[in-house]
């Protein structure tokens, strides 16, 4: 029997001019927002197909001003949506775990972002497995840029360790590992993935998932087309 768990997605509304600004240029603000929207939608497709997962999306930003608002709104009907809260990203992550645990009390959690649209139901289940079935208290999935893309916790309260970790740095992954270890955890390492910060990242990730919305949105930049 599949053990239930919270699959938490921390997301930002893909508003032109605010979303994925490091893709500009060569992308326009509108194209960058389309890429972000496509990443979120492909991620939600994978999340909602994971056996045993209780999908929760911690959202910030104005979806009414976002790219693909109707499509995103329809996708969010299949998940529990909670607002992000906190003065910085580390605090918002910690609070998202706490708030998701209020919705689904007693369940372990696997948290991801919307920057790895190449995830599949199988890869997400594999990332969660050490906590769900392997007897581990935590799991951390490193990102190629030195950050991390996935955090699994047997007890969501331990996410409070994230509140003091500087995010979006080359050493964020190592700092997160140290913070988890300092509160008594022994994190298992998950597979490394590349997240999307630059257009080079976007093209590399798109090549890994050529059949999705994300690849089509990336291909539209610079007049590229997907067959």
DSSP for 107-133 reads: --EEEE-SS-TT--HHHHHHHHHHHHT
Query: Cα(120)–Cα(105) distance, rounded to whole angstroms?
Result: 26
Looking at domain 3-218, does it have CATH number 3.40.50.10490?
no
Instruction: Please give the Cα distance from 4 to 7 (Å, whole number).
Output: 9
Amino acid 224: pLDDT: 45
* Predicted local distance difference test score (pLDDT) of residue 189: 93
Report the alpha-carbon distance of residue 155 to residue 106 in Å, rounded: 8
Q: Give the separation between CA 191 and CA 58, rounded to whole angstroms.
A: 23
Q: Which tens digit of pLDDT belongs to each residue from 33-82?
A: 999 999 999 999 999 999 999 999 999 999 999 999 999 999 999 999 99
For the cut 90, the answer to whether the pLDDT of residue 2 exceeds it is no
Whether residue 167 is predicted with pLDDT greater than 90 in this model: the reply is no
Question: What distance lies between CA 219 and its chain's CA centroid?
Answer: 22
Average pLDDT, the chain: 92
Q: Are 38 and 214 in contact (CB under 8 A)?
A: yes
What is the reported pLDDT for 192? 95
Rounded percentage of the chain residues whose pLDDT exceeds 90: 85
CB count, 10 Å around CB of 169? 13
Give the tens place of pLDDT for each residue, 111-163: 999 999 999 999 999 999 999 987 899 999 999 989 999 999 999 999 999 88
What is the percent of the chain where pLDDT is above 70?
A: 97
Q: What are the structure tokens assigned to 227, written together?
A: 């067959």
Contacts 24+ apart (CB under 8 A), 200-206: 201/145, 202/23, 202/35, 205/116, 205/117, 205/118
With b for 16 or more beta-carbon neighbours within 10 A and e for fewer, the 76-95 pattern comes to beebbebebeeeebbbbbbb
Domain locations along the chain: 3-218
Both tokens of residue 159? 């996410």
- Which residues are bridge partners to 152 per DSSP? 110, 139
Task: Give 82 or 88, the one with higher predicted confidence.
Answer: 82
Identify the band that residue 1 occupies on the pLDDT scale cut at 50, 70 and 90.
low
Q: What is the DSSP letter of 194?
A: -
Structure tokens at 111: 């948290």
Res. 182 pLDDT band, cuts 50 70 90: very high
Exposed e or buried b for every residue in 192-217, given b needs 16+ CB within 10 A? ebbbbbebebbbebbeebeebbbbbb
Give the integer Cα–Cα distance in Å for 177 and 224: 39
């Amino acid at each position: 029997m599949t053990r239930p768990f919270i699959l938490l997605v921390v997301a930002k509304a893909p508003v032109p001019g605010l979303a994925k600004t490091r893709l500009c240029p060569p992308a326009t603000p509108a194209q960058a927002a389309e890429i972000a929207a496509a990443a979120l939608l492909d991620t939600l497709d994978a999340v909602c197909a994971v056996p045993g997962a209780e999908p929760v999306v911690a959202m910030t930003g104005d979806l009414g001003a976002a790219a693909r608002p109707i499509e995103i709104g329809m996708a969010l009907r299949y998940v529990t949506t909670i607002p992000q809260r906190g003065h910085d990203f580390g605090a918002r992550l910690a609070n998202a775990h706490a708030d998701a645990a209020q919705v689904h009390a007693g369940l372990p959690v696997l948290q991801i972002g919307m920057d790895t649209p190449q995830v599949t139901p199988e890869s997400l289940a594999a990332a969660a497995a050490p906590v769900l079935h392997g007897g581990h208290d935590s799991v951390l999935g490193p990102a190629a840029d030195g950050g991390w893309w996935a955090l699994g916790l047997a007890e969501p309260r331990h996410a409070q360790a994230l509140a003091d970790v500087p995010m979006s740095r080359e050493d964020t992954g190592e700092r997160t590992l140290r913070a988890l270890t300092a509160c008594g955890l022994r994190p298992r390492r998950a597979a490394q993935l590349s997240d999307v910060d630059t257009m080079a990242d976007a093209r590399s990730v798109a090549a890994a998932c050529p059949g999705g919305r994300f690849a089509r949105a990336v291909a539209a930049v610079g007049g590229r087309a997907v067959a």
